[in-house]
Amino acid sequence: MTTILPFTISPGNFVAPAASWLNTNFHPLFAAITSVADAILNAVLAVLTALPPLWMIAVVAVLAWLVANWRVSLLAIFSLGFCWAMGLWNAAMQTVDLVIVAVVIAVAIAFPMGIWASRDKRVERTLRPVLDVMQTVPPWVYLIPAVIIFSLGRVPALIATVVYGAPPMLRLTTLALNQVPKPFLELGDALGSARSTTLWKIELPLAKPTLLVGLNQCILLSLAMVVLAGLVGAGGLGSEVTRGLSRMEMGVGLRAGLSIVAIALLLDRLSRAALDRPRRPAG
């Protein structure tokens, strides 16, 4: 490569030593994080695989009917049934496991920070470039420091997924709250409502549609990242795709790929329908 400068600037020259330094000096901390994350992932996976596939499909179908509607219930039967029929049940559950845990963590971080950013313009201004970088850096680049620090497996995949899934949730939380019309905030004040009451009873319900878009994006981007994390041994459907790619086996790749589509559809529709239920009047 020719450059105009007599030298090349490589951020990696600083980042890689920094990661190694962290690794040598904070190893116990990372080890602790790893074991906690592993335990959580195992626990959720145990729930997901507690029942035989057919039973599990039935349970999900019934739950989908209860929290959403019969269409989502039908979709659940087809998509999970497809994964099972492809012989990828366990892989699919590992993927869902990672997505669930990653989304919960991402939301737990992004939601309050998004509210904070909507309250304080300085926070928003500070966060914006950080989020820009987080969202535009190609996602597999996150995997490198994650692997350096947490080595191969599910935990670096989880960390990278959280990093990748949190920004849209954060951004859309801020946007959703900023979009709440001023008169409603004034209403809260005029009624003598405390700030937290105004947040929970006025702002969040009015912001819900945009918040749901944020959550939906968070879920789907997390799924994309979890699949990509098959490259670092995260297991699940991503590993099947990686296997298909490395061995040039069309069949393996296609089966795993279609299963991912099925899971994505299910997660998308289920999350949307469950959170956006039309409510019945009370009283």
Please say whether the beta carbons of 232 and 276 come within 8 A.
no
Closest approach, Cβ 94 to other proteins, in A, equals 37
Please say whether the beta carbons of 236 and 230 come within 8 A.
yes
**Which residues are at the interface with other proteins (CB under 8 A)?**
181, 183-184, 186-194, 197, 201-202, 205-206, 208, 279, 281-283
Closest approach, Cβ 190 to other proteins, in A, equals 4
Closest approach, Cβ 31 to other proteins, in A, equals 46
Query: Residue-wise over 122-148: b if at least 16 C-beta within 10 A, else e?
Result: ebbeebeeebeebeeeebeebbbbbbb
Q: Which CB atom, from 119 or from 208, has the smaller least distance to other proteins?
A: 208
Closest approach, Cβ 73 to other proteins, in A, equals 25
Please say whether the beta carbons of 158 and 222 come within 8 A.
no
What does 147-188 look like in DSSP terms, one character per residue? HHHH-SSHHHHHHHHHHHHHHHHHHHHHHHHHTS-HHHHHHH
Closest approach, Cβ 183 to other proteins, in A, equals 4
Q: Which CB atom, from 40 or from 206, has the smaller least distance to other proteins?
A: 206
Q: Which CB atom, from 170 or from 207, has the smaller least distance to other proteins?
A: 207
Q: Which CB atom, from 153 or from 188, has the smaller least distance to other proteins?
A: 188
What does 40-93 look like in DSSP terms, one character per residue? HHHHHHHHHTSS-HHHHHHHHHHHHHHHS-HHHHHHHHHHHHHHHHTT-HHHHH
Question: In whole angstroms, what is the distance from residue 167 CA to residue 212 CA?
Answer: 14
Closest approach, Cβ 208 to other proteins, in A, equals 8
Question: In whole angstroms, what is the distance from residue 176 CA to residue 178 CA?
Answer: 6
DSSP three-state, residue 39: helix
Q: Which CB atom, from 243 or from 272, has the smaller least distance to other proteins?
A: 272
Q: Which CB atom, from 134 or from 202, has the smaller least distance to other proteins?
A: 202
Closest approach, Cβ 277 to other proteins, in A, equals 11
Q: Which CB atom, from 26 or from 184, has the smaller least distance to other proteins?
A: 184
